[in-house]
Amino acid sequence: MNWRALFARQEFIILLVLIALCAVIAIINPTAFLSVQNLFRILRACIVIGIFALGTLMVLISGGIDVSFPAIAITALYISTRIIVDTGIDSVPLAFLLGALIGLGLGLINGVFIGIFRLPTLIVTLGTLNLFRGALLFFVGSERIRLSEVTTNLADASRLNLITVPLARGEASLHFTFALLIALALLVWFILSRTMLGRAIYAIGGDREAAERAGFNIVRTQFFIYGFVGLLAGIGGIVFGILSREADPFSIVGTELDVIAAVVLGGALITGGRGTVIGTLLGVLLITVISSNLVLLGIPTEWQRFVIGVLIIIGVGIPALQALRKRRLRVQTA
Amino acid sequence: MATMQTPPTSPQKLRLDSLIPRDSSLIRLLVITVVIFIAFSLAKPETFPSGTNLEAMARQMSEIGILAIAVALTMLSGGIDLSINATANLTAVTAATVLTAMTASPDTDPGTVGLAIVLAILAGVAVGLLCGLVNGFLVAYAKIPPILATLGTMTLFTGIGTVVTKGAAVFGQARLSELGNGEIGPVPIPLVIFLLAAVVISFILSRTKYGFDLYMMGTNPQAARFSGINNRSVLLRTYLLSGMLSAIAGIIILGRIDAARIDFGESYVLLAIMICVLGGIDPSGGFGRMAGVVLAVVALQLLSTGLNQVLFENSGANFFRQFAWGATLLLVLMLNYFSQRQRQRRASSEK
């Protein structure tokens, strides 16, 4: 690949922006930024948004959009926690299993509306976002559950670490769910780039009509996409619960647009057909670094949203302008 | 598929039969609205149909109604505007800042107060137009998909507001409270503004060249371009209008609660989109009418307030309302889907 082609890829540009940003923060505030603790803190903050972003990536590639995943995540977390508390089976694997199953079920409801009734994805998921969250708060409960008060294993899972590095003062550790994020990222990468299903997802997003004529089963693929996104959301919800040590039914919802922004920054096209796992992870990392480390630059926290807004506009503007230039070039040479 | 709405400027408008299918969804919505009203009036005969309750509902639905009209316009163009609420809040913050700067002391002379009110409203609308201009530029000239462009500007406008206010509320010094809480006769002023906006926009859509072009472009941008419509200018004007309407909503909000917060009413964006879809605006563009939006606003407001009253003993009324919103939206989508399929079947069997 030559340099030109490399620069044309948004993943590469995002990587450069990320490196530049880190370099600037590291120069201005080396002691606070360049520490193992800070690195692990950033990575920890990436886990939940990263899992959500993987699902969002798949939806965007297929040409759809899903805003209901935070509602699925919090519903999965809350109901799973309630089941665990009520039955007394205090097990972390069970929590993940329940969360994944509830997420899958709710995601398939989206699949029915989108796949069978062919309704617009944004509108459907807008409806189910309200439906799921309203149902959770009204029928299931709106009381916050503190895990440490009702469970021991589940509550202790917040201290289950993948790596612990001893430092001069105290120690730094990376939570075990980071491995889960990496595993899920590999899984999504495998599905997208090594299976027929992945081809189908890209094909639907590129040109639905053409994909149908090429023999892809659109309905079945869409069922898979929205079911899988629900499953990821359910798992993400459980991780969120473990990391925050509580199941708060008012949390998570409201983060949907931030997650979509991270995925779009990572080079996925909202019109479908394009997007990579590595770009998505870089987008998540960039958003996380900005929201947790801008203050190290001496920039007050109230600038956070402003900076993210500017980044999104630049992030979506560059490919749009590139497309325009390409079209103009083609017109000139023709 | 969206069928193109025949604009009344064309002679085809006179064919009555072409009007019937597109109005069937409006009639259905009207029936739903009336049923909701009757049901809650029967359930709560003392409180629901009372004058005070009707007035309170009229007040509440005006802000969201104006925002929904803004979204509806962008949807007609085939796009969407997620930044309406951010624009409204930035406007409110601007107007409140002007008012605070000029009239903070209680014994400001009436002349200055009047001038401050005019300046505050002008500054607010100017901010709204500026926000619309940014959106319009990004959508029409940079060709960024509207959902992304306005997602970005939503964050950006909120970000600017957060930087300016440091996240704190700015107070309106009670100078605009007449606008938010006053009445003309028995009718609350916000409702007057909302209905006026609906009528004016409806007029613009049905009687002006811009309205015709907007429907054309929303139906098929390519065909519109080839028939000599300047899509860029239509898009730019659409987002300018959306920005201006959002600004008006922002000023009413400031008037009603006498405070501007940059994070006010975050659920308004999704609610406004929901209202548009309920009201029969096709999210893919080119089809829908303001009457549908107004009806959908009324229906949702009746449903919200009614559920609140019926479930008054239950603390979860708000949560049930959210559930009911989602269920209503999905239900209406399904109804539209089945009636459309039936129509298609009938059409194909007639061939």
Q: Among partner residues A132, A138, A320, which is closest to B142 by beta-carbon distance?
A: A320
Percent of chain B with pLDDT over 90: 48
Residue B9 has pLDDT above 60, yes or no: no
Of these ranges, A182-191, A199-208, A322-331, B310-319, the one predicted with the greatest mean pLDDT is A182-191
Least confident of A245-259, B3-17, B169-183: B3-17
Establish if B86 belongs to a structural domain: yes
Residue B254 has pLDDT above 90, yes or no: yes
Establish if B344 belongs to a structural domain: no
Establish if B15 belongs to a structural domain: no
Could you give the maximum distance between any two Cα atoms of chain A, in Å? 71
| Alpha carbons within 13 A on the beta-carbon side of A288 | 22
Residue A316 has pLDDT above 50, yes or no: yes
CA dist A69 and A64 (Å) reads 13
What confidence category does residue A1 fall into, taking pLDDT thresholds of 50, 70 and 90?
low
Helices (H), chain B: 19-43, 51-76, 84-103, 110-136, 146-165, 177-181, 189-207, 209-219, 221-226, 231-257, 268-278, 290-310, 317-350
Average pLDDT over residues A265-270: 82
CA dist A124 and B151 (Å) reads 19
User: What CATH class has A3-333?
Assistant: mainly alpha
Inter-chain residue contact A126 with B329, CB threshold 8 Å = yes
Inter-chain residue contact A310 with B156, CB threshold 8 Å = yes
Residues of B in contact with A129 (CB under 8 A): 270, 326
Inter-chain residue contact B337 with A308, CB threshold 8 Å = no
Task: Say if A299 is an interface residue toward chain B (CB within 8 Å).
Answer: no
How many Cβ contacts (< 8 angstroms) between chains A and B?
A: 153
Residue B258 has pLDDT above 50, yes or no: yes
Element (H, E) at A5: helix A3-8
Q: Write down the pLDDT at residue A333.
A: 62
Inter-chain residue contact A120 with B283, CB threshold 8 Å = yes
Average per-residue pLDDT for chain B: 86
Average pLDDT over residues A47-60: 96
Inter-chain residue contact A137 with B144, CB threshold 8 Å = no
Least confident of A191-205, B3-17, B59-73, B288-302: B3-17
Element (H, E) at A172: strand A171-175
Task: Say if A224 is an interface residue toward chain B (CB within 8 Å).
Answer: no
Q: Write down the pLDDT at residue B22.
A: 55
Domain of B238, in residue numbers: 23-336
Residues of A in contact with B162 (CB under 8 A): 302-306
Average pLDDT over residues B225-253: 95
Residues of B in contact with A67 (CB under 8 A): 270
CA angle B129, B154, B303 (to 5 degrees): 95
Phi, psi angles (nearest 5°) of residue B173: 55, 25
Residue B10 has pLDDT above 50, yes or no: no
Task: Say if A306 is an interface residue toward chain B (CB within 8 Å).
Answer: yes
Q: Among partner residues B162, B274, B321, which is closest to A302 by beta-carbon distance?
A: B162
Task: Say if A140 is an interface residue toward chain B (CB within 8 Å).
Answer: no
Element (H, E) at A320: helix A304-333
Q: What is the pLDDT of residues A139-154, one digit of tens each?
A: 998 889 999 888 888 8
Q: What is the pLDDT of residues A63-112, one digit of tens each?
A: 998 999 999 999 999 999 999 999 989 999 999 999 999 999 999 999 99
Inter-chain residue contact A324 with B159, CB threshold 8 Å = no
Q: Write down the pLDDT at residue B350.
A: 66
Q: State the smallest CA–CA distance between residue A299 and chain B in angstroms.
A: 11
Which chain A residue lies closest to B336 (C-alpha atoms)?
A119
Interface test with A, best of B155, B281, B313, B314 (most A CBs within 10 A): B155
What confidence category does residue B19 fall into, taking pLDDT thresholds of 50, 70 and 90?
very low
Establish if B343 belongs to a structural domain: no
Q: Write down the pLDDT at residue A104.
A: 98
Q: Write down the pLDDT at residue B111.
A: 85
Q: Among partner residues A123, A139, A142, which is closest to B283 by beta-carbon distance?
A: A123
Residues of A in contact with B273 (CB under 8 A): 122-123, 126
Q: What is the pLDDT of residues B93-114, one digit of tens each?
A: 999 999 998 888 777 788 888 8
Average pLDDT over residues A8-24: 86
Inter-chain residue contact B152 with A254, CB threshold 8 Å = no
Inter-chain residue contact A119 with B158, CB threshold 8 Å = no
Establish if B16 belongs to a structural domain: no
The number of folded domains in chain B is 1
Running DSSP on this structure, what letter comes out for residue A267? T
Q: Write down the pLDDT at residue B13.
A: 44
**CB contact at 8 A, A71 and A129:** yes
Q: State the smallest CA–CA distance between residue A71 and chain B in angstroms.
A: 12
Establish if B7 belongs to a structural domain: no
Q: Write down the pLDDT at residue A162.
A: 87
Establish if B59 belongs to a structural domain: yes
Q: State the smallest CA–CA distance between residue B314 and chain A in angstroms.
A: 10
What confidence category does residue A332 fall into, taking pLDDT thresholds of 50, 70 and 90?
low
What confidence category does residue B197 fall into, taking pLDDT thresholds of 50, 70 and 90?
very high
For residue B174, the domain's CATH number is 1.10.3470
Amino acid identity at A131? L
Residue A4 has pLDDT above 50, yes or no: yes
Q: Write down the pLDDT at residue B339.
A: 77
CA dist A294 and A282 (Å) reads 17
Q: What is the pLDDT of residues A197-211, one digit of tens each?
A: 999 999 999 888 899
Q: Comparing C-alpha atoms, which of B6, B26, B21 is closest to residue B298?
A: B26
